[in-house]
Amino acid sequence: MARGKSTKTTTRERRTYTEDFKRDAVQLHLDGQSAPAVAQRLGLSSVNLLYRWKREFISQAGVAAESLEARVRQLEEELRRVERERDILKKALSIFSRSG
């Protein structure tokens, strides 16, 4: 009987975290707590998880910010158009009220 190296494999159950949990963890870090302290406090297996979540949330926030900026530009254009219409109507009203 040949003796070989004994390999012991351990399977670790993979934890899943909710979006709220991830967001709260990232917020703790953004509020000034060190990443290792947050990871330890929340029982994360690796501080790299926190860094990854932070990158993901920042990139998502960037997309949302771009969408909001586009909406602001659209509303500003509409405001300028409505202001022009108002000015034209004011002038027309003053002309008609003088001649009437």
Tell me what the mean pLDDT of segment 1-24 comes to. 75
Cα–Cα distance for residue pair 86/93, rounded to 1 Å: 10
The answer to whether the pTM exceeds 0.85 is: no
Domain residue limits, the chain: 19-99
pLDDT at 15: 85
24 Ramachandran zone, left/alpha/beta (phi>0; psi -120 to 50): alpha
HEC readout, 50-85: HHHHHHHHHHHHHHHHHHHHHHHHHHHHHHHHHHHH
Query: Which pLDDT value is given to residue 60?
Result: 86
* Token reading at 26: 């990232």
Mean pLDDT calculated for residue range 18-46: 94
Q: Please, what is the average pLDDT of the chain? A: 89
Assess whether pLDDT exceeds 90 at residue 48: yes
Question: Which residues lie below 8 Å from residue 38, measured CB to CB, with a gap of 6+?
Answer: 25, 28, 29, 44, 50
pLDDT digits (tens, 9 = 90+) for 56-87: 998 888 888 888 899 999 999 999 999 999 99
**Whole-number percent of the chain with pLDDT over 90:** 65
Q: Identify the pLDDT of residue 66.
A: 86
**Which SS3 state, helix, strand or coil, does residue 46 take?**
coil
